[in-house]
Structure 1
Amino acid sequence: MLFLARMFLMGLHFVLAGVLGLVLGLCRPFNPDNSRLCARLYSLPALCMLRIKLKAEVSSLFGQDRPCVIVANHQSNYDLYVLGRVVPPRTVSIGKKSLKWVPFFGQLYWLAGNVLIDRGNGQKAKQAMLQTTEALQQRDTSIWVFPEGTRNQGKGLLPFKKGAFQMAIAAGVPIIPVCVSTYAGRFKLNRWNSGKVMIRSLPAIPTLGLTLDDLPQLMDRCQLMMRECIEQLDSAVGTKAAV
């Protein structure tokens, strides 16, 4: 019964947050700080309704005085509510083009200045990546990317795609890894307290002076750091990723 009540409230909340976010986007279209405000709009009420205990250690994420590329592990659709709590100011994200067809959410996502990529069209995807590089260099805007490219369902990090790291090198901006403890499939939504999640941002990884020749090493370094951090967070929370 509690699960059904929560799903009903979450459905209402998703629609209401979408409408309010769309109004915000229409009032100041493509403002890069819309993403942070909309993320909070979705996240804060949802965390309360689901009674998810969230602990965030993200000083490096909010201590930046320049744009950066933020990379995070991608577990499920609940990332919207979990990670929405820690999106820093003037940060936009990269999402798949099909998101624009989601009622309210898709439209506000676009009006918030986020980048929609057609992954089936290499030329358009490359053009969108060039736009994000320009945003990093000239618009004082950070980019949030899920380098796995898809949800890992809490089964451990998937191989990283190159895009986020190519952008960071091209723009000469640091990369900040954000790690989330394993929660996918582990929330107990039929209990009063659904579960615990920990988020930790790691120290910035500089890319200034790097070239594309350094790309494989940079990706391996970032993935190793994130994997070790997620293991530490899982140990602290008391969960373990499925094998």
Structure 2
Amino acid sequence: MQKLGEELGVLRKGLSVPRKITHTGINGEDVELSLDPASLSDDGASFSAPRWIIHYSSIEELTVKRDICSFNPQTAFLPMQITSCTTELEDNQDLNWEDRPTISTKGLHGLFQDVVRQWRMSQHHEEIQRVITAAAVPLKLNKVVAFGCGPLTLNSELDDRPMIQHALLLTLQSCLPHGGCYVQDPLYEQADKHVLETFGFHVLDDPEVFLMADEASILLSIRADVPVKQIVASNF
């Protein structure tokens, strides 16, 4: 996984010629795939700009759920592979991001601060603090790691649920005397990253947060679209 992360970093810096990358399958065999920058060409006005990502497959996808029409024997046993992807845009979305209404970083900071303040006055906040403090944990926990808690803004629109989830992370972190909080989400925008960093979050790129998770971590992931438990377990 660490090697794929390093390769992904190279690809995101820009690639002018095809690059061959070795992936290892669950059957123990290595598969060499060629990644071509030509595959990052735009798919049309109804899709966002393409980008390189790591695609994660669950054990169920690799062993049970098979679509014969899209079956590829070369990649059939790869639990993760670097590929390109685009996101389909809604009808009212515009590819010209500069013309879209934006939320200022200062405004976003203030909104998130209000959500954190309200969360800390809630009963849920008190209950979680009580449970974590009273829990008998055999190891000393030293960090909180989270994947896919969502961007504070999505397409320049606010979303309360990710804000509450990040406020929850601050609560978990407060239960650890010297622990840091590490977060990763492929949909974070620059404003999200800046605001989260001002609140003490360490914003990581894929797949760094999975490499951070260990037996001394509190892991939080709510309805992520990747097999988080399987990915973390594979590192032990």
TM-score, normalising length: structure 2:
0.32
Whose radius of gyration is greater, 1 or 2? 2
| Bigger relative contact order (CA 8 A; separation at least 6) | 1
Higher strand share: 2
